[in-house]
A and B are shown apart, each in its own frame.
Chain A
Amino acid sequence: MEKFEKITGVAAPMPLVNIDTDMIIPKVHLKSIKRTGFGKNLFDEMRFNRDGTEIEDFVLNKPQYRSAEILIAGDNFGCGSSREHAPWAIADFGIKCIISTSFADIFYNNSFKNGILPIVMPQEVVDVLMSDAEKGSNARMTIDLIGQVVTTSDGQEFPFEVDAHKKHCLLEGLDDIGLTMAKKAAIETFEASMQQARPWV
């Protein structure tokens, strides 16, 4: 997994609330058995007409946001299904950080597994960041995971919270399966005790 320490980039505003996983990546694009290549279908039905041409007023089609690395989104981003194709598509497009007032739990978890940092901020902060993002490509925001702070284009700083374990994995680009397998002894001890306590499982 790619490491995440600090990025400075363009932030795209998507104020719509309840952006769901079917919007992020419609199911017709879930049929691949690979993890890569989903970026071209990110927000497919909002981004493209049926004939494949771009819908001009969709934010990521606007010249100033085409290379956005940060998304400022409305409440409850990523609700819906557990499909990891959603963060795969977001990462493949090049977006590395999403800021909203809240995220759906499964999407939130899935993001960290794919080098994407989801940041929860209070409404008043998201409002400031949304306005900053609306300034376009000249307004570059900085996300510093080490210092846990977001800096707007005009220098306003907003600290954010992140789970220590998730932060560590993101900073180091760690595969947590390897970390867990190092605890194999604990898992096997637990299994042995369960065999006694709940043999029917």
Chain B
Amino acid sequence: MTAPKTLYDKIWDAHVAHEAEDGTTLLYIDRHLVHEVTSPQAFEGLRMTGRKVHAPDKTIAVPDHNVPTTLDRVSGVIANEESRIQVEALDTNAKEFGVHYYPVSDVRQGIVHIVGPEQGWTLPGMTVVCGDSHTATHGAFGALAHGIGTSEVEHVLATQTLIQRKGKNMKVEITGKLKPGVTAKDITLAVIGETGTGGGTGYVIEYTGEAIRNLSMEGRMTVCNMAIEGGARAGLIAPDETTYAYVKGRPHAPKGEQWDAALAWWKTLFTDEGAVFDKVVTLKGEDIQPVVTWGTSPEDVLPITGVVPAPESFEGGKVEAVRRSIAYMGLEVGQKLTDIEIDTVFIGSCTNGRIEDLRAAAEILKGKKIKEGMRAMIVPGSGLVRAQAEEEGLAQIFKDAGFEWRMAGCSMCLAMNPDQLAEGERCASTSNRNFEGRQGYKGRTHLVSPGMAAAAALTGRLTDVRDLM
């Protein structure tokens, strides 16, 4: 009998193309997603060495980081010259190397991590990489998915493999049921609050437990998306009926006999009884509250009912980091989080730019108006999410409430396009990073769930979404 394996072990074993004596492995890559910021140097490298893309059929490109999200973008060119050059370079490279491509003009364009699953490119048991750390998102399907650097992008383009060493196994179990107002975003932030941003370094996380099982695919993607913020390159959730139902019928999902064969294999993708994890973290679902970040690291997270902590309550190098964070964020020690006034709300990103996120925001915003002077924008994760939100009447709710209803892209999550915070502006954001300057030079970011972001837009301060439900 073979030793019990974790889900990670099984996917890893199924993709070893070559293993050297020292354990250095060539891991075969089933799907390679490509965007305009981290790929131009890789394609240029191929050109200079006369190499080709090894498997163009497994390579999917979409521009997302730089693209404008204003409604007039279809008619005009991108005003920022450097951004335009990057997007044009992707256009050229996609054509020249013959990879699948969703240009800005295509309704299916969007954030690469939303487009992949939406189009059925991401399937259980696959290896998925992209030159973007939030590739972890695809782990929601039980796919081993992680970010890579540009040199590795070039390596995958040229060989369809990655040189890897196996990581360690970590289990994050969320038991029981979530309370009303608590979402996948709160789970994933609460986990990072527990483990710290370095807690997952060297590990692949498998998320398990009743609260995870009860999440939709959208929610699972939110949880896995931020595995990287906990330091883990990849997060995984074993596929189940929820997964199969989401995948079935998508444009690039298997069909007919191939579906049956795929399904039979997918059903073997779970952690065996008795398999050993190197690290286990358990949280009770009912203990998780709606949370918000107060500092400049995703681990700086507290329930919305909390207060800004004192630097002295931390240890080691974190004391100085917290002092710096509080100064940067313009907060006072002991200040109630619900007293923090905000001027900007951003709903979108690969963390929370899917239809379910927009529904959650609409639920809070329905029939209400955002606070006067508030700048609030909703940027759907893809053109198809946008279309669906319009069909469901969500777009009208947002517009009536006073939100800007934008085109798809990464937008203010990393502010490479014109959607940025000005110096000193403070944003309740559904994105994934609250680093200094992340959403604009000297901008201040509080990470929250879509419902919490919507609530903040109405009241003008960080708000407990449960008070508005």
Q: Which of A110, A114, A177, A199 contacts B261 (CB 8 A)?
A: A199
Known contacts A113-B152, A201-B30: does B198 contact A76 (CB below 8 Å)? yes
Known contacts A80-B435, A105-B201: does B28 contact A16 (CB below 8 Å)? no
Q: B186-210, CB under 8 A of A: which get 1 and which 0?
A: 0000000000011001100000000
**Inter-subunit contact A79/B231 (CB<8 Å):** yes
Q: Shortest Cβ distance from B308 into chain A, in angstroms?
A: 18
Q: B86-116, CB under 8 A of A: which get 1 and which 0?
A: 1001000000000000000000000000000
Q: Is the C-beta of B51 less than 8 angstroms from some C-beta in chain A?
A: yes
**Inter-subunit contact A22/B433 (CB<8 Å):** yes
Complex Cα distance A26/B22, Å? 37
Q: Which of A16, A74, A83, A177 contacts B158 (CB 8 A)?
A: A177
Q: Is the C-beta of B326 less than 8 angstroms from some C-beta in chain A?
A: no
**What's the A-B contact tally at a CB cutoff of 8 Å?**
189
**Inter-subunit contact A113/B151 (CB<8 Å):** yes
Q: Shortest Cβ distance from B117 into chain A, in angstroms?
A: 16
Q: Which of B163, B317, B416 contacts A30 (CB 8 A)?
A: B416
Complex Cα distance A186/B161, Å? 11
Complex Cα distance A79/B202, Å? 12
Q: Is the C-beta of A75 less than 8 angstroms from some C-beta in chain B?
A: yes
Of B125-133, B347-355, B371-379, B397-405, which stretch is located at the interface? B125-133
Which chain A positions have C-beta within 8 A of B80?
31
**Inter-subunit contact A180/B436 (CB<8 Å):** no
Q: Shortest Cβ distance from A43 into chain B, in angstroms?
A: 11
**Inter-subunit contact A180/B201 (CB<8 Å):** no
**Inter-subunit contact B86/A33 (CB<8 Å):** yes
Q: Which of B17, B261, B297, B415 contacts A187 (CB 8 A)?
A: B17
**Inter-subunit contact A22/B149 (CB<8 Å):** no
Q: B29-42, CB under 8 A of A: which get 1 and which 0?
A: 01000000110110
From residue 232 to 270 of chain B, which have CB atoms closer than 8 A to chain A?
A: 233, 254, 258-259, 261-262, 265
Q: Is the C-beta of A144 less than 8 angstroms from some C-beta in chain B?
A: no
The chain A residue with its CB closest to the CB of B159 is: A180
Complex Cα distance A105/B199, Å? 12
Q: Which of A31, A165, A191 contacts B66 (CB 8 A)?
A: A31
Known contacts A16-B320, A183-B18, A190-B17: does B24 contact A165 (CB below 8 Å)? yes
Q: Is the C-beta of A53 less than 8 angstroms from some C-beta in chain B?
A: no
Which chain B positions have C-beta within 8 A of A17?
316-318, 320-321
The chain A residue with its CB closest to the CB of B297 is: A18
**Inter-subunit contact A164/B30 (CB<8 Å):** no
Complex Cα distance A16/B436, Å? 13
The chain A residue with its CB closest to the CB of B435 is: A22
Q: Is the C-beta of B368 less than 8 angstroms from some C-beta in chain A?
A: no
**Inter-subunit contact B149/A106 (CB<8 Å):** yes
Q: Is the C-beta of A173 less than 8 angstroms from some C-beta in chain B?
A: no
Q: Is the C-beta of B437 less than 8 angstroms from some C-beta in chain A?
A: yes
The chain A residue with its CB closest to the CB of B150 is: A84
Known contacts A23-B436, A33-B89: does B132 contact A82 (CB below 8 Å)? yes
Q: Is the C-beta of B179 less than 8 angstroms from some C-beta in chain A?
A: no
Which chain B positions have C-beta within 8 A of A75?
198, 316-317
**Inter-subunit contact A76/B316 (CB<8 Å):** no
**Inter-subunit contact A165/B151 (CB<8 Å):** no
The chain B residue with its CB closest to the CB of A105 is: B233
Q: Give the 3 A-B residue pairs with the shortest CB-CB distance, closest first.
A: A200-B254, A31-B82, A110-B149
Chain B residues in the interface with A (C-beta under 8 A): 17-18, 20, 22, 24, 26, 28, 30, 37-38, 40-41, 44-45, 49, 51, 54, 58, 66, 80, 82-83, 85-86, 89, 123, 125-126, 131-133, 135, 146-152, 154-155, 158-161, 163, 165, 167, 197-198, 201-202, 228, 231, 233, 254, 258-259, 261-262, 265, 297, 299, 316-318, 320-321, 324, 414-416, 433, 435-438, 441
A-B CB contact pairs (8 Å), 28 listed: A15-B320, A17-B320, A18-B297, A18-B321, A27-B438, A33-B40, A33-B86, A76-B197, A79-B197, A80-B435, A81-B132, A81-B414, A82-B135, A83-B38, A102-B201, A105-B233, A113-B149, A163-B165, A177-B51, A177-B155, A180-B26, A183-B17, A187-B18, A190-B18, A200-B258, A200-B259, A200-B262, A201-B123
Given contact pairs A34-B41, A109-B148, A184-B159, a sample of 20 additional A-B residue pairs in the complex whose CB atoms are under 8 Å apart: A17-B321, A23-B435, A27-B415, A27-B416, A31-B82, A31-B86, A33-B40, A34-B44, A50-B441, A75-B316, A84-B38, A102-B198, A105-B202, A106-B146, A165-B22, A165-B163, A177-B51, A177-B155, A190-B28, A201-B58
